[in-house]
Structures are given as C-alpha cells and as structure tokens.
Structure 1
Amino acid sequence: MLKRFIPHFLLMLSGASLTLAFAPFNMWLLTIPALALAIRQVIKLKHRPFLAGWLFGAGWFGAGISWVHVSIADFGGLPLIGSIAIMALLCGYLALYPALATKFTAKYFSPQLWPMALPFFWVLAEWLRSWMLSGFPWLSLGYSQLDSPLSGFAPVIGETGISALIVISATLFALIHNKRTFANAVLVALCLFTSGYLLKQHTWVTPNKTYSVGMAQGNIEQSLRWVPEQDGPTMDTYWKLTESLWDNDLVIWPEAAVPKLEPLAQPYLAKVNERAFQENTALITGIVNYNWETDEAWNNLIVLGKRTPDARYPDYQYFHNNRFSKHHLLPVGEFVPFEDWLRPLAPLFDLPMSSFSRGDYQQANLEANGIHLAPAICFEIAFPHQVMANVYEDTDMIITVSNDAWFGHSHGPAQHLQIAQMRALELGRPVVRATNNGITAFIDHKGEVTARLPQFMAGNISAPVVATRGFTPYYHLQELGVWLITLVLLIAAVMIKRRQKK
C-alpha cells in the first residue's frame, strides 16, 4: 500500500533537494537531476498532474524559503502553530505555479512532447508568480546556475531564460528509456553547457572608471531598530564605523541606517552632510521620510555630501531630488493589504514602519560625487525589469541596500546576495550591496563577489569598483529571447501533435 505513495514522496523530496542547489550550498549540478526526477514522477501520476506539480512545489518552497518562518516566529508575535500555519499557506500558494505548469502541459501534450511544451508553460507560470499579489520570484531555477557554465546565458536571455534551458534538459532526462533517448538528453545538455561556457568568455560591456567605495555594516539587532531610545546609539555606531571610510569616493550605509524619521533627523543629517563635503566625498544612506501634512511615508535612499566632484556646497537639503523612493513594497513588512481587518489580528500585521507609499517605477539615478547609481531597496533587486528600468546609458553601478536581520541565521541572506549577483551578470553593471547585518558585498559586472564582510558583526569595508558602459543583449531583448525560444518549441510541439493525429 505504501508503494503507491512513493511518487508523492519523491516529488516532495526532489523539490526540497533543490534548496541545496541555491546559495549558500551552491550545488548547481543537482538542479537538472532533481527536476528530472520530479518530472518523471509527474508522468507516473499522469491522471493527477496538478497534484504532482503541487507536491513538487511544496517541497521546493517549503525547504527553500523556510527562512520566512524565522521572521514570522521571531518578530511576528504569533504562537508557533500560527507561524507554521502562515508558512504552510505561503508555500501552498507558491506551489500552485509549478502545479499549473504541469497541469496544462499534461492536458494538451503527451509526455514525448514535454521537452518542447513544458518550458513554455513553466516560463508562463514563473511570469505569473513574479507579479501576482505583488510578486515573489524567489528561488527561480536559473539562480541556481550562477556558478555553472549556463550562467553565460544570463547576459543574453536572463535568469528566466536559464530556467527554460534547465526545464528543457531536465525533461529530456526524465524521458530516458533507451540508449537513443539517453544520447539525446546528454547531447542537448552538452550543447547547452558548452554554449554557456563559450558565452561566458565574452565581455558584453566596457570597463570604465574605477571608484573606491566604502560600506558600513552596523549589525543592529532587529528588535532594537525602531526603539526610540536606541536612535542615538545606532547613529553613533554608523558615525564611528565611517571614520576610516572618508577617503573613499563614495560611502554607503544600509537600508534605514538612520532610524529617525528624516524630518526629525535634520541635525544629524546636517552633520553627516557637512562632514562628507569636507572630506571631498558623498554618502548614501537609507532613511524613512514622512510627510506630516499628507501622512505619507517613503522608504528612501538619500545622498549627502558632494553631488559632483566640483560641487561648491553640500548637496543635501530636506526633500531634495537626489533621492530614491522604494517602489516595490514588501507585503506585510511595508504595506498591509486589508489592513483594517488584519492589523488587529496579530503583531505580524502591525509591525513598525509597515505603511509606506510607493515611489515611481522609474526614477532618476542617484548622483553621488559624480557617480551615477541605479538603486534597488531590499527585495526590489529580485525584479529584473524594475532594476533594468532604472539603468541608463550613464549608469555606473547598481546600489542595493537591505536589512536581512529579519532572517536570522538562515539561508535567506545568502539567497538574497545570489539574486543581486544575477542582476549584475544580466545587466553588465557592478553591484554594491550594503546591509545591516550581512551580507554586505561588492559584486563585479560578471556577477562575482570581489569582497564581502562577515555576517553578524559590526564592521566596514572598502574596495575598488569598476564602472561599466554599454548594455548586454538581455538589456535590449528583456524577456523577448526566452519567449521566442519557448514559443518556437511550443509551436513545434503543436505541429508534431497534429501530424501524429493524421
């Protein structure tokens, strides 16, 4: 009797094992075999493809984003059973997307045509996952290949394109039943990995100026971040950490590093602004701005000190335009849907600073000491089109700031860094990433970490950053490349299906 449940167990196991393919484990070779095993079980459960895809997704997200439970359990104010229930609800929802992909593929195509049909439905499901309910494109398969030869495709067809290639290869391996199908699967995989390796040897953008950049990591406990009595000590921490960084072209502090509301932090900001100007540099910090007249709040990045190298006076003044307002807000963390109903239910739905207004989708680059930076705050870096919309011809680098203290000692921060690395590779721009407690890192335009600070310690770091000019093919094509590949395959599958019927 238990034998009938083996495919169900293998589906969840293969999904859960994908966690090892992503950071911090980086076992990228595991992705295709794990997905192939799952697809093979979906074929075995041919009358229940939706359930099969859902079980795979439940394992995939249940293990892969288990770090969400840390933030709910530690800071959400819910009993254990409540946090587990919310985590199960989230994973169950995310598992619907691979379930939809397998359901539609199985409905319209026989398994022999899945290598051509499944990639289209998979990409379609992942596209839906990236914008439904504000979107949560975490753990997309392509991120697992950052260290593999397939990463060479990132500047051409993006992370989503790599996901499609993985699905093609995994489906071919899932259908192996004789020497010919084995040879076909191996041949396609070799072609993909060889092509990726060759693409990886090419530099799509041109290195430009080199800038020295310093970043401070305050390591402020999450439970203390919005305690008014801790405002002074937190600001003192960042002031002291920056003392050895003033000789850089640019200094960066993390998301909301200044814990006071911007209107109330004017004396401190004036002090930092003047010091940065005197040191012939600029400083970018995260801060929350609040408009008392309209009751609107924004999660901002602001520039202090010099806007241009030849500036005659400090750049900052309250509400100046050299700032960035976060557009893609985090549900529950930065806005609460149905807040009149949800906020009274539990502290999870009434966290400090959880009612922000959105900035524009496309905004001007920050300009700091002549350096042009395309900003992304926290999980905005997971949305390639939004980041891309803010990269211009004169953009020198991408800046992303975050506070990953919510996720404790989990694998969440490492996955977050991996996503930032993929954006650098896709767009051919270096990424500077400043965080409260890690992982603060410098990433070059090839997606490689060149320097980083250890997690869970207060410290600072300086490194040279090589700005780039030009654009990758992905910048111009965006998702056109992956849609073209998957649509051509789908049309071929439809034509073969019709021919088989005749």
Structure 2
Amino acid sequence: MKWSGQWLASPWRRSVIAVAAGALPMPAFPAPSWWWFAWVALVPWLLLLRTAPTGRRALYDGWCGGFGFMLAVHHWLLPNLHVFTFVIAALLGALWAPWGWLVRRFLGGAPGARRTAAALLVLPSGWLAVELVRSWEGLGGPWGMLGASQWQQEPALRLASVGGVWLLSFLVVTVNVAVAVLVRAGLRRFASPTPALAAVAALVLTAVATTAAHVWSPRPGTDDRVRIAVVQPGVISGPASADRRFDREERLTRGLVGQDVDLIVWGESSVGFDLGDRPDLTRRLAALSRETGAEILVNVDARRSDRPGIYKSSVLVGPDGRTGDRYDKTRLVPFGEYVPARSVLGWATSVGEAAAEDRRRGTEQVVMTVGDGLRVGPMVCFESAFPDLSRALARDGADLLIAQSATSTFQQSWAPAQHASLAALRAAETGRSMVHATLTGVSAVYDPSGHRVGSWLGTDQSAARVYEVPLADGVTPYARLGAWPVYAALLVLVGYGLAEGTRRVRRPGRRAPGPPAPPARTVRESPARPAR
C-alpha cells in the first residue's frame, strides 16, 4: 500500500490512470455487451478518487476519468471527427469533476456508517445529475448512459418501465459504490466492519427492489398484432447513390407483395429528393403502396421546395400519394447535422466530417394515423436516444414507436449495435413496441416489454423483413410519472448542499478568529551585582 501511494504521487501518472479507469465501462455496451461488467466497472475509478491527496486533485481525477469515459463510449467518432473527438470528450469530461470531489468527500478519510450510507445515496445522485446535464441535445444527447448497458436483461427492463434508464443508472452506480466500500474494507482487513455492513445492506436492498419491481410492476397487456415490414437496402456508395438506393428499396419493397403487411418502413434518408420536386418518385411510391396494400413511411433528406433549408422528414405515402402526414426532425446531431456557433466552431468542418450546411429543425412531434387506425409515433435517428421523446409520443396516443435511422457512416464500428439497443429501453419505458429501421443495419424490433421480436438485420444484409409486432394498452409508471429518479437525485443533492452549509455555519467548538495574541514576554533574572 505504501508503494502504491508513492507510485500514485505523480500527478501525470494519476491522470493517465484516471483516464484508463474512466474508460473501463466501455465493454458493457454493444458490441461486446458485457452487461455484468457495468456493476463493477466504476470501482477502480472510485478507489482512485478516494485517495486523492486534496480536493483539487480529486477534481482533476474526476475530469480525467470523465474524459476517458466519454472518449471510450464515443470512440467510433474518431474516424470522422478526428481531433475534435478529443476536444468534445475533454469538455464533457469536466462534468465529472464535481463528482470526483464528492467521491473523495464521502469515501476518503476514516470510514463510518453514516458517511457510507450517505455515499450510497449522494454519489449515485451526483452521477445522475451529470447524465442529466450531458443529455442536453446541444452537448451530444444521452448516448452512453450507464443504465443503457442493461438493455438485454429482463429485470432491468422491468425497472426501466418504472423509472426509465435513469433508475438503472442510479442502481448501477449504487452497486459500484457498495463494492468499492467492500474492497476498501477488505484491504484494511475489516478493521471497521460497520461501513462494510452498510455496503452489504445496500446490495441487499438493491436486490430486493429489483425483485419487487420484477414481480409487482404492471406488465403491458397485448391485445392486438400488426405486421410491420422493414426495408434495409444496405450500403450503396458512389455516383448517383440516392437514385440507386431508391431503386433497390423499390425492388425490395415489391418483394413484399402478397405478404399482408400493415405498414412498410424505410430508413433515414431513404429518399434523397424532396417529393414536391420529384412527382415521379411520389408516383412510384404510390404504386408500391397499391401493390403491397400498405402505406409506406419514408424519410426524406433534402432541400424543401415549400420552404428554405434542408430538412429530415418522415413522410407517409399511401396508394393515392402523400397522405399529408409529415414529421420534421426536431433534435439534430451537433456537428453531424449542424455546427453549434458556426462562426466560432466552423473550423470543425476542415478537420472532420462536420455538416457543411446546417439542417433545419421541426417544431413539434407528430402522431400519424395509418390504415384503419394504427397510430404511430416517428422519430429520426439520434432522437431515439432521448427517453422524453418516446414518452411524449406514448402519452399522445401512439400505439407503435418508429425510429428511422442511418448509421452507414459508422458501419464498421460499435455504433449500429449501440443504436439498435436503445430501442429496447424506449419500448420497455413506454410499454409500446418499437421499430428501429435503418438503411444499412442494424435494424431491430422490440415488443412492449423491450424483448426482441425476430432477429436483427445486421450491417451485412440487404433485405426486406416482416415482423409480427404486438400492440399494448395501458401506461407504464415511467410514462405516467416521467424521470422521477432524476428529480429525487436533485433533491438529494440540494439536501446535501443545505446540510453541508448548515454544518459549516454551526460547527460546534469553533470561534470566530480574532486578532493574534501578543507573544509572551520572557522575564530573565539579572545576575546580582556585587556590592561595592
């Protein structure tokens, strides 16, 4: 232990270790999907933070760990944004600096039952506050939230229906803190067993809460099924790629004739021309609708003919042409679809594949009516990462959620699988089946409980596939109450701040400092003088 303390004394060495520790949760996300690793992946970072010699050093270690986390989870951006990926990770990593200070405050120093119990509440709340801030669209959105790593686990999906991905993140951090306390107690050979008992109690309570949610949380009741076809054309590059993509989508869609589908979904940017400028494409789509007996939801990425600017729009086409239902994407990808403060950050277009021209955004969400009354709520790509958007669509009466996506830019990375996994959480949160349709994979469909329907369409496939999709009624607790774990976490942090402020003001045994007392004078005896 003495050697390790000396080895960590170097600030640069600590910073490198903090970056590596912050990056550890990465394998918990797709493609590896080591979901179990998320429950202990933060422990090395927590143990490092608690050894910070000063509060300022803890801030630096929190920042470095946040940088490592953001860079690792978004590493697939590197081939496109290049050095700007590091800039973004450094800026967003600073959000974890206060969290690092909190870890040192609660886990450093002498352990105690009260401090441990407070740590098990305050530290997960602090993490949730960080996830809330970075979930803002302008900061990149909620991609890589820690709770999203649990998208395949039945108990986690049940919890998501109660408190959304927010509740999952809170519980994952709580378990990590408890394990860190146990590891620390083990290193000290349980010199003080009380903190370890508090950590064990937290683990037991987490297990009990998970079991209770699994048993008693309401399950969506499925009362009907619809047949949804997903058309995935695959990778098409080179000259006239938009025309050739449309031709392939048309050919794949025609293969659905006679399969009795209720709706056909094409991916994001599946139509590269405004349908108002290309009536020939509208006629071809209407003919496909008549042949297949189903309406087609396409996505247009083009300059509008009826207003200035480029929009990404979900457009419903029936046997007679456009139905009039249209949804313009409301939340855009920073740098991918617009450059924030372009006058200042426009240089990003010269070092990466940032948007040369800003897309325009829509103003409101739309619920479309398909066929005999099926109500669908469309989202476009990046928007499926936002829990509040799918919740709003479910509350507005959508029977089915649809995300039209295109991750072809990141085809050989983990991004397509990560994106497809988010739809499982959105389905479980809202109790609504969700279709994730892409141009080049991964396309996937999930039932109202978040379980996968059928198989994925991978990044190596070009196909049209029909899915039997169950429809559910009722409203989940999360759809009804919203992000209540976030509100609870913020209350915990406010309560801690007030308690800390009160403690400092009323700290017993401390007086206001006064002027320094004068130094005591030493009286030295003079030797007796001899009598004269």
TM-score normalised by structure 2 residue count: 0.82
**Aligned with 1:64 (options 73, 80, 98):** 73
SS in 1 for 2:19: helix
- Output the CA distance in 2 between the equivalents of 1:87 and 1:424: 30
Do residues 185 (structure 1) and 199 (structure 2) align? yes
> Out of 467, 473, 489, which is 1:469 matched to?
473
Pick from 403, 406, 409 the counterpart of residue 409 of structure 2.
406
Q: 2:133 is matched with which residue? A: 128
Cα pair 1:371 1:396 within 8 Å, conserved? yes
Contact 1:393–1:469 (8 Å) recurs in 2: no
Structure 1: unaligned runs, 5 residues or longer: 73-82, 306-313
Segments of structure 2 that go 5 or more residues without pairing to the other structure are: 1-5, 110-114, 509-532
Q: Structure 1 145/493 Cα, relative in aligned 2: closer, same or farther at 3 Å?
A: farther
Aligned partner of residue 332 in structure 1, secondary structure: coil
> Residue 129 and residue 407 in structure 1: after superposition, are their counterparts in 2 closer, same or farther (change >3 A)?
same
1:55 alignment counterpart: 64
Q: Does 1:440 align with 2:443?
A: yes
Deviation at 1:70, TM superposition (A): 2.8
1:119 correspondence with 2:124 = yes
Q: Pick from 37, 43, 48 the counterpart of residue 36 of structure 1.
A: 43
Q: Does 1:219 align with 2:207?
A: no
Q: Offset at 1:119?
A: 2.5
SS in 2 for 1:158: helix
Change in Cα spacing, 1:416 to 1:231, as seen in structure 2 (3 Å) is: closer
1:51 corresponds to which letter in structure 2? Answer: Y
**One-letter code aligned to 1:62:** L
2:181 corresponds in structure 1 to 175
Q: Check the 8 A contact 1:50/1:102 in 2, yes or no.
A: yes
Once residues 472 and 145 of structure 1 are traced to their aligned partners in structure 2, the CA distance between those partners, rounded to angstroms, is 19
Contact 2:263 2:370 in 1 (8 A): no
| Aligned residues of 2:272 and 2:302 also touching (Cα < 8 A) | no
Deviation, 1:134, is 4.9
1:436-477 deviation line (CA, Å, top 9, x unaligned): 111011111111222211212211211100011111111121
State the partner residue of 2:462: 458
Q: CA offset at residue 3 of structure 1? A: 4.1
Residue of structure 2 aligned with 1:241, choices 252, 269, 274: 252
Amino acid at match of 1:86: F
Q: Residues 157, 236 of structure 1: CA spacing in aligned structure 2 closer, same or farther, 3 A cutoff? A: same
CA distance in 2, matches of 1:32, 1:65: 20
Which residue in 2 is equivalent to 1:336?
A: 339
Identity, in percent, stands at: 23
Tell me, what secondary structure is at the counterpart of 1:300? strand
TM-score by length of 1: 0.86
1:269 equivalent to 2:282? Answer yes
Q: Does 1:15 align with 2:22?
A: yes
Cα deviation code 1:85-114 (max 9, x no counterpart)? 211111112211222323356569977332
Tell me, in whole angstroms, the C-alpha distance in 1 between the residues paired with 2:409 and 2:484: 36
Moved more, 384-393 or 19-28: 384-393
- Look up the SS of the partner of 1:210 in the other structure: strand
1:143-190 deviation line (CA, Å, top 9, x unaligned): 112234344321111111221222222223223323443333233223
Offset, 1:301? 0.7
Matches within 5 A, 1:301-312: 301-305=314-318
**Aligned twin of 1:308:** none
Deviation at 1:2, TM superposition (A): 4.2
Root mean square deviation, CA, Å: 2.8
Residues 197 and 413 of structure 1: CA distance in aligned 2, closer, same or farther (over 3 Å): farther
Count residues with an aligned counterpart. 477
Alignment of 1:238-387 (within 5 A): 238-246=249-257, 247=259, 248-292=261-305, 294-305=307-318, 314=319, 316-317=321-322, 321-339=324-342, 346=349, 354-365=357-368, 367-368=370-371, 370-387=373-390
1:218-272 CA-to-partner distances (Å, cap 9, x unmatched) read 1134x54xx4x23332111001111222331111110011122322332122221
AA aligned to 2:178 is L
